[in-house]
Structure 1
Amino acid sequence: MEFATMPFGTQNFMLDFDRNGILLGIRNALTDANFARIVVGMDHEDVRRVLGNPAHTIRFPLKHEEVWDWKTGDDAGETTFFNVHFDDDGQVCATSRHREPRG
């Protein structure tokens, strides 16, 4: 189960339950360790299981690409986004990060 503060927040919590419905743990999905788990070839569901639902999705038809992003905070206090790029087959083809423009 997922508890997200998206699209405006910077945390996405995953709640793990046993088969009897007992809460086993709560973890923030938006960590550098989890970002590193996203690799080329994963599909939408694989990514969703690791990071939860994205804050935004956007399609770039001319690039044949769909990009999902998650809003995260960094040490400098500025907001950054972690992006997962999918090809036309729905497979991860790249990841990237960008800073939120100020102003």
Structure 2
Amino acid sequence: MKKLLSMLCALLTAIGLPGCDYVNVKELQPGVSTAVEVRQRFGPPQHEWRNEEGSVTWEYSRQPEGAECYMITIGRDQVLQSIEQVINEQTFARVERGMTPEQVRRMLGRPASSQYFQLKQETVWEWLMERGSTLNDPTYFTVSFNPEGRVVGTGRYTKLRP
């Protein structure tokens, strides 16, 4: 049964559905699981970030429909070092004025959307942070960039459903 569930999760992940992320994260063990096991469970990463000490961080963003982005770090020895879900208050608090889009993307992963506002001369990226439910509307975290490509502010809003 466990093998069947793992195969189903791998299939759903391969077609872009994050439904089995919870199971995948619970079954992978830092210091034990290998890069091959991570790819079997999560599929190919959407982006690879090279780290100074030789490790690599794989980005698995579930945006725009999911409120998760997993940054999974693999050591030079091809063993899992860490799994971090970065769509959270601690990561949002690290976004500072003056950061570049690449620095923000490295911290939060691919945004759910990007819009340019002509009158303000700003580009705003947004990440779904709470999906919402029948009682709550979805909530988004935003980062605004000036024409030079530097962070000028952050915010959040709730998208009211019709």
Give the TM-score normalised by structure 2. 0.60
Deviates most, 72-81 or 82-91: 72-81
What residue number does 2:17 align with? Answer: none
Q: 2:124 aligns with which of 56, 60, 67?
A: 67
Shift of 1:4: 1.6
AA matched with 2:110: N
Percent identical pairs in the alignment equals: 35
Q: Deviations over 1:76-95 (max 9, x none)?
A: 85420000000000000000
Partner Cα distance (1:21, 1:43) in 2: 30
Q: CA deviation at 1:40?
A: 0.2
Q: Which AA in structure 2 matches 1:34?
A: T
Identify the structure with the greater helix proportion: 2
Question: Matched residues in 2 for 1:74 and 1:58: separation?
Answer: 20
For 1:16, the equivalent position in structure 2 comes to: 73
Deviation at 1:20, TM superposition (A): 2.9
Paired with 1:27 and 1:7, the residues of 2 have a C-alpha distance of 18
TM-score normalised to structure 1 length: 0.92
Considering fraction of residues, name the structure with more strand.
1
Aligned-partner Cα distance in 2 for 1:74–1:6: 11
Equivalent position of 2:88 in the other structure:
31
State how far apart, in whole Å, the 2-side matches of 1:49 and 1:84 are: 13
Q: 2:158 aligns with which of 93, 99, 102?
A: 99
Partner secondary structure for residue 63 of structure 1: coil
After superposition, residues 35-50 of structure 1 pair within 5 angstroms as: 35-50=92-107
Root-mean-square deviation (CA, aligned residues, Å) is: 1.7
Q: 2:144 aligns with which of 69, 75, 85?
A: 85
Q: Which runs of 5+ in 2 are unaligned?
A: 1-57
Q: Which amino acid aligns with 1:44?
A: P
Q: Whose Rg is larger?
A: 2
Aligned-pair CA distance for 1:74: 7.9
Question: Where does structure 1 lack aligned partners over 5 or more consecutive residues?
Answer: none
Give 1:97 deviation, angstroms: 0.2
- Which runs of at least 4 in structure 1 moved beyond 3 Å after TM superposition? 74-78
